């Protein structure tokens, strides 16, 4: 947390499992590590009719109408998440850790949803942040770690598994906003 290997093993594992495959890791001292990703073969390309449609809660929004505060300490993941969220009409202002998010919110920064990683630097986990914010706003957590999933489930929190596709992000956001915001 905060200074990992940068190899993204949890995301590789999550991608493989989500795709119906598996990962094989082999490592030898002074020789290095090899990672073999086994994925099932597709029999055909997806048909245009099989592409998921936009959930109604987000389909009619105006660009920037809803404000989201992503908390992500990995710059590369943050850039991708920002692009996805802006593509879904959100006004995005990111911070890297929970204390920075709390400071922003305490200083009057209005957001409609906090989108936080479960495991992050800064001394507070996403679960702890969600507990802190639960009485004030809807939250959506994301994690590539199985412990994060277990902890989030135990707390009854919304958790989106990493890696996530645009359709999964959109569906999770629609579910989070469904009861809290009117559709566009």
CA distances to 88, 95, 103, 108, 173 from 91, in Å: 9, 14, 19, 16, 13
Q: Judge if pTM exceeds 0.85.
A: no
The angle subtended at Cα 175 by Cα 118 and Cα 154, nearest 5°, is: 40
Do residues 22 and 77 both lie within one domain? no
What are 33-68's pLDDT values in tens digits?
888 889 898 887 776 665 555 554 555 566 667 889
pLDDT of residue 17: 82
For residue 127, the domain's CATH number is: 3.40.50.2300
CA distances to 72, 132, 170 from 81, in Å: 9, 23, 11
Structure tokens at 147: 């412990």
- Per cent of the chain over pLDDT 90 is 7
Do residues 32 and 70 both lie within one domain? no
pLDDT of residue 20: 87
In-domain check, residue 19: yes
Least confident of 11-15, 79-83, 105-109: 11-15
Do residues 31 and 121 both lie within one domain? no
In-domain check, residue 49: no
- Per cent of the chain over pLDDT 70 is 71
Do residues 24 and 104 both lie within one domain? no
CA distances to 60, 94, 96, 111 from 103, in Å: 32, 13, 12, 13
Is the predicted pLDDT of residue 184 greater than 60, yes or no?
Answer: no
User: What is the rounded (10 degree) CA torsion for 103, 106, 111, 114?
Assistant: 50
Is 140 or 161 the better-scoring residue by pLDDT? Answer: 161
What are 86-124's pLDDT values in tens digits?
888 889 999 999 899 988 888 888 888 888 888 778 888
Is the predicted pLDDT of residue 77 greater than 50, yes or no?
Answer: yes
Q: Give me the domain span that covers residue 152.
A: 59-178
Do residues 29 and 104 both lie within one domain? no
Do residues 77 and 151 both lie within one domain? yes
For residues 152-159, give the mean pLDDT.
Answer: 61
Do residues 24 and 99 both lie within one domain? no
Give the C-alpha separation, 13 to 53, whole Å. 27
Give the C-alpha separation, 6 to 74, whole Å. 9
In-domain check, residue 144: yes
DSSP E strands, the chain = 22-28, 32-38, 66-71, 90-92, 113-117, 139-143, 159-161
pLDDT classification of 29: cutoffs 50, 70, 90: very high
pLDDT of residue 30: 92
In total, the chain counts a number of residues equal to 184
Is 105 or 14 the better-scoring residue by pLDDT? Answer: 105
CA 38 to chain centre: 24
Do residues 109 and 20 both lie within one domain? no
């Amino acid at each position: 947390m905060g200074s990992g290997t940068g190899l993204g093993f949890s995301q590789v594992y999550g991608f493989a499992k989500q795709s119906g495959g598996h990962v094989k890791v082999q490592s030898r001292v002074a020789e290095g590590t090899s990672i073999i990703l086994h994925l099932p073969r597709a029999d055909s390309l997806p048909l245009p009719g099989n592409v998921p449609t936009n959930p109604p809660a987000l389909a009619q929004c105006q660009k920037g109408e809803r404000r989201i505060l992503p908390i992500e300490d990995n710059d590369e993941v943050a850039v991708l998440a920002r692009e996805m969220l802006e593509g879904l009409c959100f006004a995005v202002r990111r911070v890297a850790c929970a204390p920075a998010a709390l400071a922003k919110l305490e200083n009057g920064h209005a957001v409609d949803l906090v989108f936080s990683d479960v495991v992050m630097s800064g001394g507070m986990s996403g679960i702890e942040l969600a507990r802190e914010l639960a009485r004030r706003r809807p939250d959506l957590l994301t994690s590539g770690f199985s412990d994060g999933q277990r902890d989030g489930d135990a707390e009854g929190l919304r958790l989106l598994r990493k890696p996530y596709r645009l359709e999964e992000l959109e569906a999770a956001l629609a579910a989070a906003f469904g009861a809290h915001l009117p559709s566009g």
